[in-house]
Every structure is written in structure tokens, then in C-alpha cells.
Structure 1
Amino acid sequence: MRRRPAPPPAALALLLLLAACGTRTAGADVPDRAGLEARAAALQTRPEHVYVTEADGFDLAEQSVGVLGDDGFSATYVSPGGGAITLAVERGGVDAASCAELPAVSATGPAGTPCEKDGAGWYRASDGAHAYVRAENGLRVRVSADRSVDRDTLRGAAERAHRASDEELDAVLPELRPGAGEPVERGDLPPVGDGAPRNDVGASG
């Protein structure tokens, strides 16, 4: 069996150049930093306040992404089988003395519910919900869920919560609307009242 001769160096260089032209470099399409900052500002937050996490079987609910407080950040990850994990970031700290009284954790139990030291943060639980909270970079990072999400899953999500990279910011932050860096408007919010989503049902509903 005759072996085909190797291509000459010039032809080999041309093949490599053509292959490189068809290869997409990871992150090549990520907007520049100014674009990411504009999208964060439109959400009324800051890029360094945007955190992301991962949990097996949970995906980010894009419509849940929003501001928390003055310039914090919040997002919820949901599972098709039920259950949701909420990641919330805002300015502040937490320690043994303050954990049980934090308004940011009060959804997981009555004020005064003890917090348990666990890893880099604190764990707090009630009959209906539980949360991990830690302080870093001048921020309080809370990962919470109802009790349908087991503690190991919640702990893993809390440990993997981290400040978003530029690629992650691009994936998480809503796109700017044409013409400007104004806050994104949700179409299901009424113009007056307490801002709760409308769930209007027709006469036949």
C-alpha cells in the first residue's frame, strides 16, 4: 500500500490558517467592560455585585434576575422537578452575633433563630426554609431555598456562589433595550399598586 506524501510546508501552513479561521475563541464575543457596566447600571446594580452559582438539576430563571435593595443582586435557579434556589447579594456583613437577626435571612425563620457555623459561612433553618449566608468583599452573599431542596444541595450551591466573570456577566445580565441604559421593564407588572405580577383570569377562567 502506497503512502500519500506529506503536504509541503507551505500547504500545511495554509491548512492550519484556514482551520484557525473557522475556530471560535471562547469569550471572543463577550461585550467590552463598558458594555457590561452599562447593562449592570440598567439593572440598577454593579458588575462586582453580580454573583452566579451552580446546582445539579437547577437552571437560572432569566426573568428572576434583578436588583436587591439599593444596588444588590438577586437571581433564582429552578428545577423542572420542583424547588428553587435563590442567590441574593447586597452590601453588608455577617457574624455569629448578627446572623440570627439579619433581615436578609429572616425569610428562613423568625428573628432570633440561631445560626450554625458551617464552612465559610453560616447556616440557618426553620420548618419551611433554610439558607447559607457568608460575607466577602464587603458583601453579604445568601443562598436560600425551601425545604424541598436538601441541605447538601443548598450547601453546594452556596459554596459555588462566586462573583461573575465577564463571560458570566454577559450570560446573566439582561440586554440593553435599544436607545439606552434604562432599567429593564417587566411586562407583567401593573403601572400602579404594589407591583405584584398580574395573574388576570378571563371570564371563562
Structure 2
Amino acid sequence: MTGNARALLPLVLLSALLAACGADKPDKEAGTAETAAGLDAAARGWGVAPDLVYVTEVSGFTVFPASVGVYEDDMFVAAYRSDKARFGLFVDRDTLTAENCTEQPLGEVTDEQVTCERDGEAWYRTAGASQEYAVPRDGVVVRLIADVDKVDRAVLRKAAEAVHRPDDAELAALLSDSAGTDARLSLTS
């Protein structure tokens, strides 16, 4: 993905997306062969490759199903929220290394210096009022992005540590309100 596309990531518009009612998080079930078939079908419906679909879990946060889908034609996106805070999960085919970490924009912040700090298997990045945990995983980078003053770094780190492929229950939560929607429209409306 180009730096220009990353620079257009709409964190500001994420707030508008999250103003609607949320869904309760279902109980987690063990994944089955049905998960793979369901994930493949869901990904096709969203217009993303199945290998880009990831989820996370953090106590007190639930996925906002209407936010789930495609962004910029090739990125998977989902928003998570609690009563007081929210963060976005974005997945793209990219690489993040010590050499290029500070050169890649963080979300829509393009005029601020990006700082990078290795934190376990992930990178903790900041620029202006934005923060991100970037988790390289199987040829993709899962990015968890939030405002520094609204989501505690420890919460974002827990979300990064919990990044995984969805099981049946998590896939159902992603689909509960978003089946047939296009996140590109939701993010810009």
C-alpha cells in the first residue's frame, strides 16, 4: 500500500461511525471448518481477501459491526468501542521494519514526526495526537490506532497482544449488522 493511501486513514470519521448503537459481544466458541468457509464468504462480501480479516479482544470493548469491511480497496477495517473510548483495527499487506517504521505515516497524520518503539512482537508508534500498535503477522500488518488522550497505551497493547483470526462467534459478531455493507461508504458518510 502506498504512503498516500495510509495518510488518508479517516480516524476523525471513525468517531461518526461509532455514534450508532453497538452490539453485545457473543461468547467465544472454538473455531471449526465452518469458520474458514464463513470467513471466505464474508471476506468476499466485504471485498477483502480472507487473509486480511483479523479481530482482537480487550475487556470492555466490543466490535462495531457497521464499521466492518473494506477501506481503500484493499484494507480490512473494524472499529472497537467501549462506553468511553474507541480504536480502529486496520489490516493491510505491508511490512514494518526498523528501517521503514518512522517513514510510514500513522493514519491521517502526515505532517508530524512518527516515533517507533519495539514492544515485543509489535511496534508502538506515535505521531501528533495519534498512537498505534502495529503487529506484523503472516505477510500482513494489523494496526490498532487510537487517540493518545482517549485510549490508554496499555489498553492498545492488550488489543495488539490479542490479535487473531476470528472464530465462528467472532465472525458472527462482525457480520451481525454489516452483512452487505461497504465500509468505504460508512467511513465517508
**How far did residue 112 of structure 1 move?**
3.9
**How far did residue 184 of structure 1 move?**
2.6
Give structure 1 stretches of 5+ with no counterpart.
1-25, 178-182, 190-194, 198-205
Q: Which secondary structure state, in structure 1, belongs to the residue aligned with residue 44 of structure 2? A: helix
* Contact 1:123–1:131 (8 Å) recurs in 2: yes
Aligned residue identity for 1:113: V
Q: Which secondary structure state, in structure 2, belongs to the residue aligned with residue 67 of structure 1? A: strand
Map of 1:16 onto structure 2: none
Identify the range of structure 1 (31-40 vs 63-72) with the bigger mean alpha-carbon deviation. 31-40
Instruction: Supply the distance in 1 between the matched residues of 2:142 and 2:35 (Cα, whole angstroms).
Output: 26
* Contact 2:102–2:113 (8 Å) recurs in 1: yes
Map of 2:66 onto structure 1: 63
Q: Which has the higher strand share?
A: 2
Identity across the alignment (%) = 36
**How far did residue 167 of structure 1 move?**
3.8
**How far did residue 165 of structure 1 move?**
2.6
Instruction: Supply the distance in 1 between the matched residues of 2:178 and 2:112 (Cα, whole angstroms).
Output: 39
* Contact 2:58–2:158 (8 Å) recurs in 1: yes
Moved over 6 A (4+): 27-30
**How far did residue 62 of structure 1 move?**
1.0
Instruction: Classify 1:111/1:163 alpha carbon distance in 2 versus 1 (closer, same or farther; 3 Å).
Output: farther
Instruction: Classify 1:168/1:47 alpha carbon distance in 2 versus 1 (closer, same or farther; 3 Å).
Output: farther
Q: TM-score, normalised by structure 2?
A: 0.71
Q: CA RMSD in A?
A: 3.0
* 1:51 equivalent in alignment to 2:54: yes
Instruction: Supply the distance in 2 between the matched residues of 1:117 and 1:70 (Cα, whole angstroms).
Output: 29
Which structure exhibits the higher relative contact order, with contacts defined as CA atoms closer than 8 Å and separated by 6 or more residues?
2
* 1:129 equivalent in alignment to 2:122: no
Which whole-Å deviations, capped at 9, do the CAs of 1:163-198 have from their partners, x for residues lacking one?
Answer: 223442233135797xxxxx5358x86xxxxx832x
* Contact 2:70–2:182 (8 Å) recurs in 1: no
Map of 2:165 onto structure 1: 163
- May I ask how many residue pairs the two structures share in their alignment? 159
Map of 1:4 onto structure 2: none
Q: TM-score, normalised by structure 1?
A: 0.66
Rg comparison, structure with higher value: 1
* Contact 2:112–2:128 (8 Å) recurs in 1: no
Map of 1:118 onto structure 2: 119
Map of 1:184 onto structure 2: 181
Aligned residue identity for 2:166: A
